[in-house]
């Protein structure tokens, strides 16, 4: 009911504020679309017969979500553009209204079938009740005919059994019809989510001394569009190159379909933090409680629900703020997204609903989106014109027009899109024409497919996790213009999960995580018989002894980087003595220790890590 009231308000508002314009209606065709990470620039063309005198050209059936400041009109010919205006037209219903009407008609057919089945069920129930009533045996004084009684009972049993079967069949049919009805309800709700019956017109007022024909080019920016990258990364084995399929997921809900258009993807180099768990320095001080390091959140999942009807939202965008990382919700409103570390912010958007932002503090984030209640207003762009002979005319918002004078050609700066300072303006021009309907669904465009030489390395930090991660190192990756995004991982012909391709690096080598390899087993155990705590004089001494064991179950040799650490003192009264690191390389500043372990097939190796902490007896130090 609320949606209907808002819609009627829109119609009243439109009828009261929109003036009727007498002018020549012009149909335009989309020639090119430049899709940004957020938003898109649409270029339309049309051939127009310009009348002598002052006339208004109405370029109709455009997107209702035009950024009015981005409108550009470019034309050729000796005439003057007096003004450019954009208006919303609430009276032109879009094609989805016809879809809803068709679905409603099919719902009525199903409802009629349900009514017919219910009526038939009532008839069978009445017959059953009549049979049950007539089960009374004749009185005591009546002669009892056993044969007739048996025949009557047999008839009743047979007929009641048949009636029960028919009733069950009808109930099953009604249940199936109701399920079908629910599917139509969900489809209609999905179409109506964030719906607007408005279209947009651009009105261009021109003045010409003579009748002429001119080619007009219109360009403008819409915000309900965008793309994000995903990758398929395949590695046959650690001796083969890495195959990377670089894909763009394009979606838009601008209100106009892009049919067989030249598509350009514009993007940059956003700042993204890495998602691989890192060891932080382990500092000791008096009274300091050691909090065991845990995994950083690298994957978030959840569900999006609409507050107005409680239905899941399909096709909503979920992005990491300030990056190119994103995904969309599925038919159940569910999403799953790889995220960088460093408390990233997720942005949830769907047309017709208020966007929400959430800091990633949990691996599960469910969202309820509120409907947007702001009314769409008519916006007028003040245009400027020229007189005299001019071969080219370009009109944009007043703020972008400079040096306008009689007899001077009008030139404007290109439409700009808001981007972060770390982004570049790399463009991918897609050769083949593409079609992207205005339905909010993802359409995949392949940007590139590459086979790159790589070196492979296994790494593990058993203090955080005993999972062994395989990393591929790519050289000179910058020339391929990769963006940060989710990657589907395939190793040795098997899908092994998802990872995050992190391009926030200035080095020439890019590290790509290929997931965990269960064929390399690592354990980290405390040798309790060698761990001791003793008091000597005014000091206490605590010794920790760890054993790290690695075993290669693969049929090929591997190189494994093992990371661990010893504590670092921040107080002169606390002394840390490293007693055994089994040949590892120690960084005294951070306490991090690295071992480069080479393992033959089916081989294993043990590493010992032992350190002692000495501190005053009257103080408390938590030693892990």
* 364 three-state secondary structure: strand
Q: Is residue 124 part of a domain?
A: yes
Residue matched to tokens 């997204």: 337
The whole-angstrom separation of Cα 62 and Cα 71 is: 12
Q: Is residue 272 part of a domain?
A: no
Q: Is residue 507 part of a domain?
A: no
Please determine, for residue 271, whether its predicted confidence score (pLDDT) is greater than 60.
Answer: no
Of 167, 192, 217, the last residue of a domain is 192
Please determine, for residue 215, whether its predicted confidence score (pLDDT) is greater than 90.
Answer: yes
Question: Cβ contacts of residue 315 below 8 Å, gap of 6+?
Answer: 251, 328, 329, 350, 439, 440, 441, 442
Q: Is residue 212 part of a domain?
A: no
In the chain, the number of structural domains is 2
Q: What is the pLDDT of residues 89-147, one digit of tens each?
A: 765 555 566 777 888 888 888 888 889 888 888 888 888 888 777 765 444 445 667 77
Q: What is the pLDDT of residues 524-554, one digit of tens each?
A: 998 875 555 666 667 888 899 999 999 999 8
Q: What is the domain range of residue 544?
A: 521-616
**Which band of pLDDT confidence, cut at 50, 70 and 90, is reported for residue 409?**
very low
Q: Is residue 592 part of a domain?
A: yes
Q: Is residue 171 part of a domain?
A: yes
Highest mean pLDDT among 101-115, 203-217, 390-404, 477-491: 203-217
Q: What is the pLDDT of residues 55-73, one digit of tens each?
A: 999 998 888 888 888 899 9
Bridge partners, 428 (sequence order): 265
**Which band of pLDDT confidence, cut at 50, 70 and 90, is reported for residue 365?**
very high
**Which band of pLDDT confidence, cut at 50, 70 and 90, is reported for residue 374?**
very low
Q: What pLDDT is attached to residue 107? A: 87
Residue matched to tokens 């790519």: 474
Bridge partners, 495 (sequence order): 490
Question: Which whole-number Å values give the CA distances from 257 to 29, 38, 61, 63, 260, in the listed order?
Answer: 11, 17, 11, 9, 10
Q: Which stretch of 141-145, 187-191, 478-482 has the lowest confidence by average pLDDT? A: 141-145
Please determine, for residue 220, whether its predicted confidence score (pLDDT) is greater than 70.
Answer: yes
CA nearest to 467, candidates 479, 459, 455: 459
Q: At 531, which CATH number?
A: 2.60.40
Of 163, 192, 221, the last residue of a domain is 192
Q: What is the pLDDT of residues 578-599, one digit of tens each?
A: 999 999 999 999 999 999 999 9
The whole-angstrom separation of Cα 75 and Cα 48 is: 10
The whole-angstrom separation of Cα 422 and Cα 330 is: 31
The whole-angstrom separation of Cα 260 and Cα 247 is: 19
Q: Is residue 558 part of a domain?
A: yes
| CB-neighbour burial class of residue 417 (10 A; exposed 0-12, middle 13-18, buried 19+) | buried
pLDDT greater at residue 466 or residue 506: 466
CA dihedral 110, 111, 117, 118 (to 10 degrees): 160
Please determine, for residue 461, whether its predicted confidence score (pLDDT) is greater than 70.
Answer: yes
Percent of the chain at pLDDT exceeding 90 = 22
pTM of the entire structure? 0.57
Q: What is the pLDDT of residues 436-460, one digit of tens each?
A: 998 888 888 888 888 888 888 899 9
Q: What is the pLDDT of residues 317-340, one digit of tens each?
A: 898 888 888 888 887 888 988 888
Of 151, 176, 192, the last residue of a domain is 192
The whole-angstrom separation of Cα 530 and Cα 580 is: 12
Q: Is residue 454 part of a domain?
A: no
């Amino acid at each position: 009911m609320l949606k209907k009231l808002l819609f009627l308000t829109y119609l009243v508002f439109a009828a009261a504020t929109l003036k009727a314009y007498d002018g020549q209606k012009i149909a335009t065709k989309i020639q090119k679309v430049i899709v940004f990470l957020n938003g898109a620039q649409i270029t339309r063309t049309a051939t127009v017969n310009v009348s002598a005198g002052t006339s208004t050209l109405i370029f109709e059936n455009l997107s209702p979500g035009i950024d009015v400041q981005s409108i550009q009109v470019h034309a050729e010919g000796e005439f003057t553009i007096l003004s450019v205006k954009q208006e919303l037209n609430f009276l032109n219903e879009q094609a989805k209204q016809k879809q809803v009407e068709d679905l409603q008609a099919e719902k009525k057919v199903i409802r009629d079938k349900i009514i017919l089945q219910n009526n038939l069920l009532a008839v069978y129930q009445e017959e059953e009740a009549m049979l049950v009533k007539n089960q009374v045996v004749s009185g005591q004084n009546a002669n009892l005919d056993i044969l007739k009684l048996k025949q009557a009972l047999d008839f009743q049993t047979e007929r009641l059994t048949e009636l029960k079967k028919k009733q069950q069949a009808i109930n099953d049919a009604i249940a199936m019809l109701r399920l079908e009805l629910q599917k139509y309800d969900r489809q209609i709700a999905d179409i109506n989510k964030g719906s607007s019956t408005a279209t947009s017109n651009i009105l261009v007022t021109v003045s010409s001394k003579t009748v002429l024909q001119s080619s007009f080019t219109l360009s403008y920016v819409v915000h309900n569009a965008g793309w994000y990258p995903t990758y398929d990364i395949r590695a046959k084995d650690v001796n083969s190159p890495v195959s990377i399929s670089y894909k763009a997921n394009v979606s838009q809900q601008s209100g106009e379909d892009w049919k067989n258009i030249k598509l350009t993807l514009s993007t940059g180099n956003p700042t993204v933090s890495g998602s691989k768990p890192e060891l932080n320095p382990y500092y000791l001080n008096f009274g300091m409680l050691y909090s065991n390091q845990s995994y950083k959140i690298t994957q978030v999942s959840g569900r999006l629900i609409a507050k107005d009807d409680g239905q899941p939202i399909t096709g909503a965008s979920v992005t990491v703020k300030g990056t190119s990382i994103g995904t969309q919700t599925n038919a159940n409103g569910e999403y799953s997204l790889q995220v960088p570390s460093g408390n990233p912010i997720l942005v949830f958007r769907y047309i017709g609903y208020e966007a929400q932002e959430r800091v990633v503090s949990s691996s599960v984030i469910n969202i309820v989106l509120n409907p947007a209640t702001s009314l769409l207003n008519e916006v007028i762009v003040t245009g400027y014109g020229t007189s005299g002979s001019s071969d080219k005319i370009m009109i944009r918002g007043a703020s972008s027009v400079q040096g306008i004078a009689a007899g001077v050609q009008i030139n404007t700066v290109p439409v700009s899109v808001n981007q972060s300072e770390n982004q570049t303006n790399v463009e991918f021009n897609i050769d083949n024409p593409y079609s992207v309907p205005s339905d909010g669904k993802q359409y995949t465009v392949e940007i590139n497919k590459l086979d790159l030489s790589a070196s492979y390395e296994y790494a593990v930090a058993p203090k955080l996790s005993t999972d062994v991660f395989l990393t591929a190192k790519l050289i000179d990756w910058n020339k391929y213009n990769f963006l940060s995004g989710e990657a589907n991982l395939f190793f040795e012909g098997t899908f092994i999960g998802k990872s995050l391709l992190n391009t926030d690096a200035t080095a020439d080598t890019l590290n790509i995580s290929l997931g965990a390899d269960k064929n390399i087993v690592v354990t980290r155990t405390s040798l309790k018989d060698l761990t001791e705590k003793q008091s000597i004089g005014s000091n206490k001494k605590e010794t920790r002894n760890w054993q790290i064991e690695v075993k290669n179950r693969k049929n090929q040799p591997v190189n494994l980087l093992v990371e661990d650490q010893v504590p670092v003192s921040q107080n002169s009264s606390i002394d840390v003595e490293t007693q055994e690191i089994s040949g590892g390389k120690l960084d005294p500043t951070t306490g991090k220790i690295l071992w480069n372990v080479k393992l033959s097939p089916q081989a294993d190796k043990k590493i010992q890590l032992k350190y002692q902490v000495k501190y005053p007896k009257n103080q408390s130090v938590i030693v892990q």
